[in-house]
Structure 1
């Protein structure tokens, strides 16, 4: 069982210790925070109700930090009332349903707060398991693009 909570600066040491190359490269967008300044910026976004919310993904039974999740409301590359979701799950929690549950919780957060009408996942075309997960969760292929992050397939789901 996992949960989400707003990221805190105090989470930096645990997240940075668990961060691996795969966590950074598997996400489109800004990816997980990698410096103390980025953790401070993420906490400030929560304090000022900014458009980007970074969550800590928490293993509820052990309180261990399982990864991060970003929800960005109406970024410039999306339409009005669309939110971009990106996540980075730490190695021990990959392949165990945590990524899917994380996305479901993000969609529930967006719907509960009436923050968006659609959720968007932008996934590197090489990450076949992430693309399969998007389909499994009911996201529908929208388009492909070439961006600074690489070749991305876009998937959309109504909230």
Structure 2
């Protein structure tokens, strides 16, 4: 399964993606709001692939360049996590620095929203963003997400943005 806009695509993460993910992290910082980050990256990718196989509520996508199939980052979609309302999905992305500034982040979020709507998995998409990440905040506004509220928790302070699907 590949969800694509002709430039980038989303596909279920695979264990084989761990090596490319680590190599990209070694080349530069990753900008975004999520992504596998455990010391044992292969185990994390195995967990993500198993979640897909079980059709679980947490789905990690590989964000890939359609032409080269190069891994540009990851996208996490969590269906109805405990901190959201029914029929809301949390979207978090992790785009490698080499791919930032090319519109990949926005394309990734748009494709995630299309995936959620097409499969009737949620009525609203939620982005929870670090208020210091001005680029992510501006992107949320450009994509039509609306500020909902701020929260402070284990992840620090986050600004919440919502969009109907």
Range into which the TM-score falls when normalised by the shorter chain: over 0.9
- Are the equivalent residues in 2 in contact too, given 1:33–1:39 (CA < 8 A)? no
Q: C-alpha deviations, 1:59-102, integer Å up to 9, x for none?
A: 01111000000000000000000000001001111011000000
Q: 1:2 to 1:134 in 2, by over 3 A?
A: same
**CA distance in 1: counterparts of 2:153 and 2:29, whole angstroms:** 19
Query: In structure 2, what is the Cα distance between the partners aligned to 1:58 and 1:73?
Result: 22
Match for residue 137 of structure 1? 143
- 2:51 equivalent among 31, 40, 45: 45
TM-score of the two chains, using structure 2 as the length reference: 0.90
Q: What is the DSSP-based 3-state SS (H/G/I as helix, E as strand, rest coil) of the residue aligned with 1:114?
A: coil
Q: Which runs of 5+ in 2 are unaligned?
A: 1-6
Give the whole-Å Cα distance in 2 for the aligned partners of 1:126 and 1:148.
Answer: 16
| CA–CA separation in structure 2 for the residues paired with 1:33 and 1:114 | 29
Residue 70 (str. 1) matches residue 70 (str. 2): no
Question: How many aligned positions are there?
Answer: 156
Q: Secondary structure of 1:19's match?
A: helix
Cα distance in structure 2, aligned partners of 1:26 and 1:109: 20
Residue of structure 2 in register with 1:60 after alignment: 66
Q: TM-score w.r.t. structure 1 length?
A: 0.94
**Structure 1: any 5+ residue segments left out of the alignment?**
none
Q: CA RMSD in A?
A: 1.3
Offset of residue 32 of structure 1: 2.6
